Structure 1
Amino acid sequence: MKLTMKQHGFRIELPHQTLDIDGNELFGIRPYQLMVSSIAGCSASVFRKIMDKQRLEIDDMEVSAEVERDEMAANRISRITLTFVVRGFHLDKEQLEKNLQLAHNNCSMVQTVKDSIEIEERLEVIHLNHY
C-alpha cells in the first residue's frame, strides 16, 4: 500500500478505486472515518458470512456507527457503537445475538483495536412476512 501526497491530503490507488484521505471532508475521507468504516465493515462482513452459512433468510442488513472521541487525548476514538438492523424471514433474535458475538470474536479489525477502543454491538431485528 502506498500513499501519495496531493495538494490536500493523500491519495491511495487501490485495485478497484482511488481513495483520497484528508482531515477535511471537502477533500477526502477523514482518517477516523476510515478506521470506523473498517471496523464496521469487517464486523458486518463476518456477521453476514455466519448468517449465510446458516442459510438464514436475510432480506437486508444495515449497520450504523456512533463514535465517541476523547478531545483530551488527541481526539482519539474511545468508543464505537455499532447498531445492526437485520430484516428477514423466520429470524431468531437469540441466535442472531449469538452470531453477532461470534462475529465480534472473529472480526480481525475489532480484535486489533479491542484493547484501545470500546466496541459495542446492538441488534435490531425486523421480521418480514411472506405475501
Structure 2
Amino acid sequence: MATTNHISTKWLGNMAFESNNPSGMTFNIDASPDDGGEGAGLRPKALMLSSLAGCSGLDVASLIKKMKLEVDAFHIETIGDLTDEHPKYYGTVRIEYHFYGKNLKEDKLQRAVDLSVEKYCGVMEMFRRFAELEIKVLFHRG
C-alpha cells in the first residue's frame, strides 16, 4: 500500500502560516517584508531546497554509518536558480556535498552520494522532473 503524507497548513493572519509534519512538529511560513509579510517564517521555495538537502543528506548519513566511513563533518550547499517568468520555479539546482576529515575514503563517499542521487532520494527524483541538477562532491582533508 502506498504511503500518503497529510499536512495541515493553517493561516495565522496577514501572510503567515503554520504547517505541521508527520513528525508531530510544526513550523511557520511567512513572506518577506518586500512581499507583504513580516519575515517571521520560512519561505516555501527555499524550504524545497532544504527538503532536497535533507532527503539526500539522510541517505548519505545512513550510508556513511553502514560503510563505517570516517567523516568528521559533512554539509550540503543547495543553490536554486529561479526562472524569470511567473510562475517562478527552479530551472537549475546545484547541489554540493562537502566532506571533511583526515581519513576520507573518496571512492566510497562518492558512491554514497551517487546512490542517493540516482536511486534512493525521492525528493531528488521530484526535482529531476522540472530542474536541471548539477551535482558536485568536494573533499576537504585535515
Determine the structure 1 residue equivalent to 2:95.
Answer: 82
- Greater fraction of residues in strand: 1
Residue matched to 1:12: 19
If asked which structure has higher relative contact order (CA below 8 Å, sep 6+), I would say: 1
5 Å matches for 1:1-131?
1-7=7-13, 8-14=15-21, 15=23, 17-24=25-32, 26-105=39-118, 106-128=120-142
DSSP-derived class of the 1:65 partner: strand
More divergent stretch after superposition (32-41 vs 117-126): 117-126
When normalised by structure 2's length, the TM-score is 0.81
| Most deviating of 57-66 and 21-30 | 21-30
User: How many positions carry a matched residue from both structures?
Assistant: 128
Instruction: Give the TM-score normalised by structure 1.
Output: 0.87
- Alpha-carbon RMSD: 1.7
Could you tell me how far 1:99 is from its partner in structure 2? 1.8
Amino acid at match of 1:118: E
Q: Distance in 2 between matches of 1:5 and 1:37?
A: 22
Structure 1: unaligned runs, 5 residues or longer: none
Amino acid at match of 1:4: K
**SS of the residue 2:123 aligns to:** helix
SS in 2 for 1:20: strand
Identity %: 21
AA aligned opposite 1:121: I
Unmatched runs of 5 consecutive residues or more in structure 2: 1-6, 33-37
Instruction: State the shift of 1:89 in Å.
Output: 3.3
Shift of 1:73: 4.2
Residues 9-18 or 80-89, more deviating: 9-18
